[in-house]
Chain A
């Protein structure tokens, strides 16, 4: 197959994008189900177990139920922005999946076609991820503002303040990995971690960076214990209080897609992506490793939600600015010094 032929290339890209999109959507559906079942297990309940075998069809039932509900727009809302906000949220959430490699280059048996399991590879992939993530703040801020509701506005303001603050420590915690790899291209960063039978992962050199990244990522996705924007005991539901039907579904999806993409970034940068023992001999094993690592992070999210209480807002901001940010800077200085002495 000639991959440089523009027509074949376009068709292959379209297929790759469709497969990636469907994978993410299925993953979202079953993360929601897993979250409800695991939370129920942690709290000594049963959880949804009626629709399908063990509740396996529950996400689809929920989907249909939400879709057929009435789409309410508040009379005092700013209509255009009210409609725009959920679109921004879900589009920016899903745009980042194109840079993550799902597996190594694989060969289809009998045909001899080889292709890498990724959609795009470019020089500034990591900056692209950070840029798209930073635009995602608009979805939440505008939703809070346009609803014309005090709880929504408070939720939107809290959320944008939180996301701006934690974006800094999130970006700085990645600098250590960039210093070690010497590139911003995610595919190359993953390939560099393939030594030692696929266990030469960046987390071994960047344990502090990994912890800072994980904490900031949980805050960036507005999840427990940093779910101040939708603290239901204070703000009803935060920025999406006034949203119903499919618009609510878009916000809901955006949150879970963000969880997945953030887990993908952690996997590719710190846990070696698709690398693992035996990938060199059996490339398809890499896909399995990749998704196993993502599922680990998703389980961590649910586990934290089941065990930890919520921060207070001043504690949250203090933690981000006074602890995580200095820690990230210290991590950069340590890494740079180590690289300098190893080179000289």
Chain B
């Protein structure tokens, strides 16, 4: 009785938050609604005797990924979304068809569960407990586990290599002031292990030496 009541509460919360997430125009409210979905789902996992999955769901999704999403929204100060353009209108029938398929699936699952001959046992399984998941991950499913971790590692390395493209600068490339901070020997390879002071007479000479000619200098030359 209490279990049914709790299920209705959390399932309702999950669906309500999911609808709110899609319907909200403000991206921050959408993000908060998504956190609500994750936490309601975690509560449902607890009721399904899978406490480990529930805890990991909250730690990874609600506690790490969504914090980063909210971080980005805060940093970029994303404004409320405009009304969607009519460009993607042709997707509406596709959405209706997919929704119909999903509902059909749900009805089929419910019907097949109702009519099946199998009755669940009363003893609680230990499938969702930490030790059984750990044993499964490091024995039976070791290869998929390792492959998934390598996939994540690839994503990290990819992000790093994209972000560090500034490291392969040449002497002549222009630097937007304040856009990135680089060590002197990256910006100017000639500066490495050469500590002789360079004397220049004018600002223009110094600029030419450092490869940061300004527009004013070229005007003087011309």
Contacts and interface: CB of A to CB of B under 8 A. Distances in A.
Interface of A: 78, 81, 84, 122-124, 127-128, 130-135, 137-138, 141-142, 144-145, 153, 156-157, 160-161, 164, 167, 183-184
A145 B52 contact: no
A302 to B, nearest CB: 29
Q: Considering residues B42, B52, B63, B68, which has the most beta carbons from chain A within 10 angstroms of its beta carbon?
A: B63
B70 A141 contact: yes
Given A134-B67, A157-B74, A123 B59 contact: no
B206 interface: no
Contacts of A137: 63, 67
A131 B63 contact: yes
B67 A127 contact: no
B52 A123 contact: yes
Interface of B: 28, 32, 35, 39, 42, 51-52, 54-56, 58-59, 62-64, 67-68, 70-71, 74-75, 129-130
The 5 closest A-B pairs by CB, nearest first: A134-B63, A127-B55, A131-B58, A131-B59, A124-B51
B35 A138 contact: yes
Main secondary structure of the interface of B (DSSP, over half): helix
Contacts of A153: 74
A160 to B, nearest CB: 6
28 contacts: A78-B28, A81-B32, A84-B32, A123-B129, A124-B51, A124-B54, A124-B55, A127-B59, A128-B55, A130-B55, A130-B59, A130-B63, A131-B59, A131-B62, A133-B63, A134-B59, A137-B63, A138-B70, A141-B70, A142-B70, A144-B74, A145-B28, A145-B74, A153-B74, A156-B74, A157-B71, A160-B70, A161-B71
Contacts of B74: 141, 144-145, 153, 156-157
A135 B62 contact: yes
A153 B58 CA distance: 25
A134 B219 CA distance: 58
A280 B217 CA distance: 85
Nearest to B66: A138
Contacts of A124: 51-52, 54-55, 130
A132 B54 CA distance: 12
A136 to B, nearest CB: 9
A141 B32 contact: no
B59 A138 contact: no
A184 B35 CA distance: 25
A128 B54 CA distance: 9
A340 to B, nearest CB: 14
A122 B75 contact: no
A135 B51 contact: no
Given A137-B63, A141-B74, A157-B75, A127 B28 contact: no
Nearest to A133: B63
B30 to A, nearest CB: 12
